Amino acid sequence: MYQELDEFIKYLSVTHTNSKCTSDAYYRDIARFLTFLKDKGIEDLNIDKDIVYQYVEALRSGKITKKKISNATFARNVSALKSFYRYLNLQEIVDDNPFLSLQNIKVKKHLPDVLTFDEMESLLSSFDLASPIELRNRTIVETIYACGLRISECLNIKLTDIDNNNLIIRVMGKGSKERIIPFYPRLLELIDKYLLEYRDIYASQDSPYLFVSTRGSKMSSRSVQLMLQDVQNRLPIKVNIHPHMLRHSFATHLLDNGADLRVVQELLGHANLSTTQIYTHLTYDRLKNAVIKAHPHSRKN
C-alpha cells in the first residue's frame, strides 16, 4: 500500500503544481490512513464506506492524532484521501472512490494579523545598521515587506535575480511560477550597503544567494523566524511577528493606500483573486474602526 502512496506523490509532482509543503502534508495524511488500515488488518485498498466513516470519526475526534484537529486540517486530510483514491481509480487499482461520499468541509477563513504602518516603521527602525548582522537582518525584513514575498522566495533570491537599473527582483513562487516585482530606491540603497558591509565579508565564493549566514551558506527560514522573535522582544508590539506577517502587511498597506486589487494579486503571485480578497476585509475593518473612533457622530443615536 505504501508503494502506491509513493507512486501517487511522484504522480503529483509531475502533473500538478503543488508545493513541496503540500505534497509532504498529503503524504503524512495518507500514510496515517494506511496505518489505520494496517492496524485493522486490512491489506487491500479496495475498502467500503463503513471503513471510511470509521476513520473519519476517529480522525475528527482526535483518537488518531491524540488531539482534536481544526476544520482546515480535517478538510486537507479529506482532500488528500479523495485525490489519492482518484489516482488509484485511474490506475485501476481500486474499483471506486469511497471518499467521494464525504461532504466538502467549509473552512472558515481567519483574517491574518498585520502590522500597522507605524508598527512596521518601528520594526524597521529597531535594527542597528552599524552592526553587520543587524544590517543583514534589516535588509531581509525590508525585502520581504517591500516586495510582499514568502520567506522561501526571499531566501531563494540570487544575486542575478536583482536588476538594479530597473529596480525589479525576479522571484520563483509556488509551482515554479516566476514573477517580476518592482521595489523602491531605499531598498536598493540598503541592499548595496548590505552587500558591501556583510555579504562580501561572509559569503562563500560559490554561493549564488543574496542572503547568507555568518558561515557563508544560504540563510534558513528558521533563523529568520528566531531573529524576528528576538526583535519583537525589544518592541512594544503585542502580536507575534513572523515572516508571513510582513507579506500580509505589504498587501494590506498597498490596499489601504489605494492600490488595485488585481495589481496586489499579481504582486503576491496568487492564482485566484479570491485569495487576495481576504485583504480587502482587513482594509474595510480598519476603515470602519477608524470611523467609529474618530467621527463625532459615531456614538450618537
The residues annotated as belonging to the active site are: 150, 174, 244, 247, 270, 279
Q: How far apart are CA 267 and CA 235, in angstroms?
A: 29
- The one-letter amino acid code at 248 reads H
Please name the helix (run of DSSP H) or strand (run of DSSP E) that holds residue 193, with its range, or none: helix 185-194
Query: Strand locations in 7-86, DSSP E?
Result: none
- The one-letter amino acid code at 84 reads F
Of 26, 41, 36, which is closest to residue 86 (Cα–Cα)?
26
Contact 37, 87 (CB under 8 A): no
Cα separation values, 296 from 41, 54, 283, 289, 293, Å: 70, 58, 21, 13, 8
The residues, any chain, with a CB within 8 Å of residue 251's CB and separated by 6 or more, are 148, 264, 267, 268, 276, 279
Q: How far apart are CA 259 and CA 271, in angstroms?
A: 18
